[in-house]
């Protein structure tokens, strides 16, 4: 019996109709993933660059990392352009001015850390202010990072960090071209002669666009990835860096307050970096609110990172999850055709030609025969749903770099599977009552009635009774009559969690409706099948 169920399941699942339908829905999922991806990338640049340059012995060295919007280090190709700029700009890249002329250029591919030098011994004498432009090309797109020096005629001066660390401040030698909405905080630590410089990119959720939430993928509060660039090996104190963090909402406006706050804060070492060369350290901060302290040599720099500001947001998740749901909703809408056909192949057709009669002469009861093919179809619903949910989730992950989390994927699979079981139960019942052509006619009619006519009719009735205001109420009511209500409910539940909005469907009604759709039709079908003639 078990073997027979498996054989029937295999031939249901591997048959062309099922495979073609699944392939179409998988392609639809991939297409939607691309659509979401291109919508996002059109809205934002998904590539950032964090780095610094050094000028020593007439040689310009650029060190840096490129990273994706989701914090992944990227390889690619970099073009470094040294330029002679007419005026100096103290703070880069915000003040990088465009009136520059190229003096030298180098191109280099890199896998992780970019480290490239250009010899400027011949050109440097004619340079007033050195401008450095880095064009990074990665598989996710391109980014241009710029920085410029103070006038080269004077000693290279780097502006110290502003006392208010909430302001964005970069040392002149830094390239920070963050993606618009970062999943993580970036520190740029520059140290020279015991002077600490810090660049902190803070994130304000309020001012971000909807896409923000996508980018903080895998960042679940209070986990905050922290990326730090430390230019070591230049004789400064950056060779030995300690990072600490502590809890508490510390606001510091001057050095005195900083010392006091640090003394009061319960600091814990976050990372200890011993760097003899350029380093890009990554560490995580735990805590809903944390103070990050960087300490090197005798200097201490700190920044307050408001972890709540980095909490995963729902805004970008919403279009992603909605895209997934729309794909699976389409599947739940049209997959019934496959199960309509499967019920025909497994029961209605063999019954109409009399092929079940020989099968019934095997040493099984008629109930066994009925259950074998019912279970085979049920297994097919679970397998098909599994393929759909997994393929959709994976295509989103591969293309958009964000996907639904495993628990929600599991819930979706259960919801879609049980909904399709309810659909199969309905068609199985009809196939147990009617044969061949009659089955097809009634089953197709039922499908059109439930999935298309009923919602339209309900809308018309609602409009005629209470006007547009009544349409939503009536639609919400008739959805309980649909066998795929559980899928609707679960997608509604997941979306409500993401958007923190209330669930619009009733839990008890949704579960009861599904339970009835799953259990009643097979019972009615059995009552007809147990005494039915199996001959042609």
Partner 1 sequence: MIEINGVSKRFGKVVALDNVSFSVRNGEVVGYVGPNGAGKTTTIRVAVGVLPPDSGDVIIDGYSVTSEKPKACARIGWVPESPIFEMEFKALDYFIYLATYKGLSVPEARRVGKELLELVGLGDAMNRKLATFSLGMKKRFALAVSMIGDPPNFMFDEVLNGLDPQGIMFFRRVVEDFRRRGKAVLFSSHILSEVQMIADRVVFINKGRIIGVYTMDEVVKLASPHIVIVLKQIDDSVISILSRFGEVEVSGNRVILRNPKAEPSKILEELVKSGYSVEEFRVSEERTLEELFMKLIGGETR
Q: How far is the CB of 363 from partner 1 (least distance, A)?
A: 4
Q: How far is the CB of 5 from partner 1 (least distance, A)?
A: 9
Local structure of residue 124 (DSSP, 8 states): G
Farthest CA pair distance, the chain:
103
Residues 6 or more apart whose CB falls under 8 angstroms from that of 117 comprise 59, 60, 61, 62, 106
CA atoms of 104 and 86, how far apart (whole Å): 16
Q: Between β-strands 76-85 and 100-110, what pairing exists: parallel, antiparallel or unpaired?
A: antiparallel
- In this chain, which of 162, 209, 353, 441 binds partner 1, going by CB under 8 A? 353
Minimum CB distance to partner 1 smaller for 17 or for 411: 17
411 binds partner 1 (CB under 8 A): no
Residues 6 or more apart whose CB falls under 8 angstroms from that of 371 comprise none
| CA angle in degrees (0–180, nearest 5) for 83-88-91 | 105
- In this chain, which of 361, 407, 468, 500 binds partner 1, going by CB under 8 A? 361
201's tokens: 């990119």
Cβ proximity of 1 and 372 under 8 Å: yes
| CA angle in degrees (0–180, nearest 5) for 38-329-510 | 140
Count CB-CB contacts under 10 A for residue 14.
11
Q: How far is the CB of 522 from partner 1 (least distance, A)?
A: 20
* Contacting range for partner 1; rule: CB under 8 A; set: 77-85, 146-154, 167-175, 360-368: 360-368
- In this chain, which of 23, 24, 126, 354 binds partner 1, going by CB under 8 A? 354
Q: How far is the CB of 361 from partner 1 (least distance, A)?
A: 4
Local structure of residue 237 (DSSP, 8 states): G
Minimum CB distance to partner 1 smaller for 355 or for 472: 355
- Alpha helices by DSSP H, listed for 344-365, are 349-353, 355-360
Q: How far is the CB of 11 from partner 1 (least distance, A)?
A: 8
- Reported as type and span, the H/E element at residue 8 is helix 2-13
- In this chain, which of 221, 360, 390, 509 binds partner 1, going by CB under 8 A? 360
Q: Between β-strands 73-74 and 174-177, what pairing exists: parallel, antiparallel or unpaired?
A: unpaired
* Contacting range for partner 1; rule: CB under 8 A; set: 361-369, 421-429, 487-495, 504-512: 361-369
* Residue ranges in 367-386 that form contacts with partner 1 under rule CB under 8 A: 368
Residue count at the site for partner 1 (CB under 8 A)? 25
467 binds partner 1 (CB under 8 A): no
Least Cα distance to 62 among 129, 136, 160 occurs for: 136
Name the CA radius of gyration of the chain, rounded. Answer: 32
Q: How far is the CB of 352 from partner 1 (least distance, A)?
A: 10
Q: How far is the CB of 357 from partner 1 (least distance, A)?
A: 5
536 binds partner 1 (CB under 8 A): yes
* Contacting range for partner 1; rule: CB under 8 A; set: 48-56, 335-343, 359-367, 481-489: 359-367
10 Å CB burial of residue 452 (0-12, 13-18, 19+) is exposed
359 binds partner 1 (CB under 8 A): yes
Minimum CB distance to partner 1 smaller for 245 or for 339: 339
- Alpha helices by DSSP H, listed for 344-479, are 349-353, 355-360, 366-399, 406-433, 436-448, 454-466, 468-478
Cβ proximity of 336 and 234 under 8 Å: no
282 binds partner 1 (CB under 8 A): no
Minimum CB distance to partner 1 smaller for 7 or for 445: 7
Q: How far is the CB of 381 from partner 1 (least distance, A)?
A: 21
Q: How far is the CB of 371 from partner 1 (least distance, A)?
A: 12
* Contacting range for partner 1; rule: CB under 8 A; set: 26-34, 127-135, 335-343, 358-366: 358-366
528 binds partner 1 (CB under 8 A): no
Minimum CB distance to partner 1 smaller for 247 or for 526: 526
* Residue ranges in 490-509 that form contacts with partner 1 under rule CB under 8 A: none
534 binds partner 1 (CB under 8 A): yes
| CA distance readout (Å), 60 to 81, 124, 187, 234 | 10, 10, 23, 13
Count CB-CB contacts under 10 A for residue 30.
18
441 binds partner 1 (CB under 8 A): no
* Residue ranges in 1-20 that form contacts with partner 1 under rule CB under 8 A: 1, 3-4, 7-8, 11
171's tokens: 């040392």
Q: Between β-strands 185-192 and 224-230, what pairing exists: parallel, antiparallel or unpaired?
A: parallel
- Reported as type and span, the H/E element at residue 332 is helix 317-343
- In this chain, which of 363, 467, 468, 502 binds partner 1, going by CB under 8 A? 363
Q: How far is the CB of 25 from partner 1 (least distance, A)?
A: 24
Minimum CB distance to partner 1 smaller for 3 or for 464: 3
Beta bridge partners of 78: 108, 136
- In this chain, which of 93, 131, 232, 350 binds partner 1, going by CB under 8 A? 350
| Residues binding partner 1 (CB under 8 A) | 1, 3-4, 7-8, 11, 350, 353-355, 357-365, 368, 531, 533-536
């Amino acid at each position: 019996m078990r073997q027979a169920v498996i054989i029937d399941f295999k031939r249901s699942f591997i048959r062309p109709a099922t495979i073609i339908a699944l392939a179409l829905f998988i392609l639809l999922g991939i297409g939607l993933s691309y659509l979401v991806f291109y919508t996002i990338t059109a809205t934002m640049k998904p590539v950032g660059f964090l780095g610094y340059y050094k000028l020593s012995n007439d040689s310009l060295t650029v060190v840096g990392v490129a990273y994706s919007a989701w914090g992944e280090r990227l390889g690619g190709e970099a073009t470094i352009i040294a330029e002679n700029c007419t005026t100096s700009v103290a703070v880069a890249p915000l003040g990088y001015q465009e009136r520059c002329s190229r003096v030298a250029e180098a191109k280099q591919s890199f896998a992780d850390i970019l480290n490239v030098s250009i010899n400027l011994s011949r050109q440097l004498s004619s340079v007033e202010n050195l401008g450095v432009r880095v064009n990074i090309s990665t598989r996710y797109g391109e980014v241009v990072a710029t920085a410029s020096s103070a006038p080269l005629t004077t000693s290279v001066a780097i502006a110290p960090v502003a006392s208010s660390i909430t302001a964005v401040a970069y040392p002149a030698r830094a390239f920070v071209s963050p993606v618009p909405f970062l999943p993580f905080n970036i520190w740029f630590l520059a140290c020279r002669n015991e002077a600490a410089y810090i660049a902190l990119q803070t994130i304000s959720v309020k001012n971000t666009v909807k896409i923000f939430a996508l980018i903080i993928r895998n960042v679940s509060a209070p986990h905050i990835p922290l990326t730090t660039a430390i230019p070591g090996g230049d004789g400064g104190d950056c060779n030995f860096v300690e990072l600490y963090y502590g809890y508490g909402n510390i606001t510091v406006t001057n050095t005195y307050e900083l010392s006091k706050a640090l003394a009061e804060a319960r600091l814990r070492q976050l990372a200890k970096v011993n760097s003899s060369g350029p380093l890009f350290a990554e560490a995580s901060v735990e805590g809903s609110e944390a103070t990050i302290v960087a300490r090197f040599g005798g200097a201490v720099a700190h920044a307050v990172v408001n972890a709540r500001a980095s909490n995963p947001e729902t805004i970008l998740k919403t279009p992603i999850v909605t895209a997934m749901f729309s794909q699976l909703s389409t599947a739940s809408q049209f997959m019934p055709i496959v199960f309509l056909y499967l019920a025909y192949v497994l029961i209605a057709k063999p019954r109409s030609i009399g092929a079940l009669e020989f099968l019934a002469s095997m040493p099984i009861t008629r109930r066994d025969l009925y259950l074998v093919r019912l279970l085979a179809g049920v297994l097919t619903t679970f397998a098909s749903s599994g393929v759909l949910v997994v393929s959709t989730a994976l295509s989103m992950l591969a293309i958009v770099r964000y996907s639904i989390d495993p628990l929600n994927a599991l819930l979706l699979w259960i919801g879609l599977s049980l909904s399709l079981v309810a659909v199969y139960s309905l068609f199985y019942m009809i196939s147990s009552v009617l044969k061949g052509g009659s089955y097809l006619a009634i089953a197709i009619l039922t499908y059109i009635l439930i999935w298309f006519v009923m919602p339209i009719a309900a809308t018309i009735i609602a409009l005629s009774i209470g006007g547009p205001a009544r349409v939503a109420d009536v639609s919400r009511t008739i959805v309980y009559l649909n066998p795929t209500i559980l899928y609707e409910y679960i997608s509604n539940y997941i979306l409500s969690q993401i958007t923190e909005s209330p669930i619009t469907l009733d839990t008890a009604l949704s579960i009861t409706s599904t339970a009835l759709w799953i259990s009643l039709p097979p019972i009615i079908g059995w009552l007809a099948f147990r005494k039915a003639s199996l001959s042609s």
